[in-house]
Amino acid sequence: MQIDSGFTFVLFGGTGDLSMRKILPALYEAHRAGMLSEHGKIVAVARHAADRDGYIEWVNSNVKTYVSKGGLDENVWQRFLERIAYVKLDLGKPEDFALLRDALDGHAGTRVFYLATGPSLFVPICRALASVGLNENARIVLEKPLGYDLRSSNAINDAVGEIFAEDQIYRIDHYLGKEPVQNLLALRFGNALFEPLWRREWVESIQITIAEELGVEARGDFYDNTGALRDMVQNHLLQLLSIVAMEPPHSMDSDSVRDEKLRVLRALKPIDTRDISKIAVRGQYHSGVIKGTSVPAYATEHGVKPQSATETFVALKVEIENWRWAGVPFFLRTGKRLAERVAEIVVNFRPVPHSALGAPALRPGANRLVIRLQPNESIRLYCLAKQPGEGMNLSSVHLDLAFDQFFKEGQMEAYQRLLLDVINGRLALFVRRDEQEAAWRWVEPILNEWAASNKPPKPYAAGTWGPAAASAMLAQHGTCWLEEEN
């Protein structure tokens, strides 16, 4: 699939961790698959390498290990490297951007500026680009976090919006590019089987979990000023929630999809600060064991304040006040140093109203749909069936769609899909400003209450599923987290 006659992809933060692990490998995979125009160029911008030779040496040393799970084709890799140019530039010196303008002179096609930098640099970079005329007919990609709260997010959006039009701005959330999230849309809106069931009459509860085994690693300074609510809930989890709960769009164009997501975010039941302790659990990991290895407590991680009250775990009960979802609890959960690395959506259907077949048919979650986003992407539908043999004994069985087995050509990684969408001008999988504002507006009462509270986060041992209070919150609704997958 040839997606464009030409492009110039300018990567700010070209020697950063995100560029090394995600962006350059994704561009390589698109190149290897023949999805990039042969006229497309990649221009890395950084200040660590002295010249292009030094930068290519860095790419060879650091990026190779993250590309091609099936093995690296050296000839393809060398042709990919030929696409890469390098500009040594100090982002703190706006006058240096004339060097970038001169380097881009003569490069035809769409211009994409990807800001793989800290958010404090977003506005200075955009202003410097505008000062040399590079904002015209270009696209800008902003990584999260976009602000610390609603006010700072609006400040960044206002400043960037003075330089780039809204349809030039691509606020990236890589979970929206994952194959199962795309398949969730196909499942709901491409099949008559599920959509009639996707409502309060048939759905008892929905769980969305993003769990990590890793701690803060080398990001202690950043994370201690951010926390799980800002880092994961305000963006990833609420975006997934909006896709799960959205109404069918009239088409799959960018504004139709994002309009429906926005309606969900605006329909979230407002937070009453008096109820926060009932609908929100925050935790912080202590020392523990993960896969047989002892790991330290969060408070002892490098860059973390010893008496830090920053949360590394959040569980929330969310309600949507509209006709489709009124009364259905949505349970969101995310955390670091949990028992397993997993991201999944669990739709628990209501049990039958009366069972002549015994208790299993009345058990919550006996019928459920599990959409796993990572590590193994799949969709699994659970139901009950009779066990072989004498008597009417029921057992759980499932229908399984494992994408890596069903589609032999392999899956596209999230960043690869999203980068191709940027180059091709497709906005549907990127977050619009009004979506972002609605998400910040909803989480702010929780942020403010926790900041004002003297209560520390609830402790949990690393390698577990978080504080017991998170399980107790679901138990009040007669359900539990899905924590084991057969």
d(CA 201, CA 207): 17
What DSSP character marks residue 16? S
Q: Average the pLDDT over 36-57 and give the result.
A: 93
Amino acid 484: pLDDT: 60
C-beta separation of 146 from 161 below 8 A: no
Find the range with the poorest average confidence among 47-56, 258-267, 404-413, 444-453: 404-413
pLDDT tens, position by position, 138-190: 999 998 878 889 999 999 999 999 999 999 999 999 989 988 888 888 888 88
State percent of the chain over pLDDT 90.
Answer: 69
User: In terms of Cα–Cα distance, which of 213, 222, 212 is closest to 303?
Assistant: 222
Q: What is the pLDDT of residue 68?
A: 67
The one catalytic residue in 236, 250, 398, 477 is 236
Residue with tokens 């900041």: 451
* 7-143 and 176-412+435-475 in the same fold: no
Per-residue model confidence as pLDDT tens digits over 436-474: 999 999 999 999 999 998 889 999 999 999 999 999 999
Please confirm, yes or no, whether 354 is among the known catalytic residues.
Answer: no
User: Where is 112: in which H helix or E strand?
Assistant: strand 110-115
Give the pLDDT score at 71. Answer: 72
Q: Which two tokens stand for residue 201?
A: 């009459």
What is the predicted pLDDT for the residue at 94? Answer: 85
Closest C-alpha among 55, 54, 52 to residue 20? 55
Mean pLDDT of 36-49: 92
What's the whole-number mean pLDDT along residues 121-133?
Answer: 95
Mean per-residue pLDDT of the chain = 90
Contact 130, 97 (CB under 8 A): no
What gap in Å lies between CA 60 and CA 250, rounded to an integer?
A: 46
Sequence-distant (6+) residues with CB within 8 A of 478 are: 364
Q: What is the distance between the alpha carbons of residues 379 and 180, in angstroms, rounded to a whole number?
A: 7
Q: Token pair of 357, please?
A: 């077949």
Q: Comparing C-alpha atoms, which of 316, 322, 326, 318 is closest to residue 203?
A: 326
Whether the predicted pLDDT of 417 surpasses 90: yes
CATH architecture of 7-143: 3-Layer(aba) Sandwich (3.40)
- What global pTM score does this model have? 0.92
- Residue 328 in tokens: 């259905």
**How many Cα atoms are found within 13 Å in the side-chain-facing hemisphere of 436?**
28
Give tens-digit pLDDT for 79-112. 999 999 999 998 888 889 999 999 998 787 899 9
Q: Which amino acid is at 291?
A: K
Residue 360, pLDDT score:
67
Query: Averaged over 301-316, what is the pLDDT?
Result: 95
Per-residue pLDDT, averaged over 46-57, amounts to: 92
pLDDT > 50? residue 2: no
Residue 10 pairs with which residues in a beta bridge?
43, 113
Q: Give the model's confidence band at 486: pLDDT under 50 very low, under 70 low, under 90 confident, else very high.
A: very low
Using alpha carbons, list the distances in angstroms from residue 296 to 305, 421, 461: 14, 40, 10
| Among the listed residues 223, 240, 235, 236, the one whose alpha carbon sits nearest the alpha carbon of residue 185 | 240
Helices (H), 33-149: 52-62, 74-81, 97-104, 122-131
Domain ranges of the chain: 7-143, 176-412+435-475
pLDDT at residue 356 is higher than 80 = no
Distance from C-alpha of 235 to C-alpha of 299, rounded to nearest angstrom: 25
Answer whether residue 265 shows pLDDT above 90.
yes
Token pair, residue 292, equals 């047989």
Instruction: Please tell me the predicted confidence (pLDDT) of residue 377.
Output: 80
Q: Is the pLDDT of residue 70 over 70?
A: no
Given this model, what pLDDT does residue 1 score?
A: 44
Give the rounded percent of residues in the chain with a pLDDT score beyond 70. Answer: 95
Q: Tell me the CA distances in angstroms from 275 to 369, 417, 475, one per residue in order.
A: 30, 40, 17
Mean pLDDT to the nearest integer, 13-35? 94
Burial of 451 (0-12, 13-18, 19+ CB in 10 A): exposed
DSSP 187-236: HHHS-TTTGGGSSTTTEEEEEEEEE-S---TT-HHHHHTTHHIIIIIIII
176-412+435-475 belongs to which homologous superfamily? Answer: Dihydrodipicolinate Reductase; domain 2 (3.30.360.10)
Give the model's confidence band at 408: pLDDT under 50 very low, under 70 low, under 90 confident, else very high.
Answer: low
Q: How high is the pLDDT of residue 107? A: 80
* Calpha distance 380→397 (Å, rounded): 10
Residue 132 has pLDDT above 80, yes or no: yes
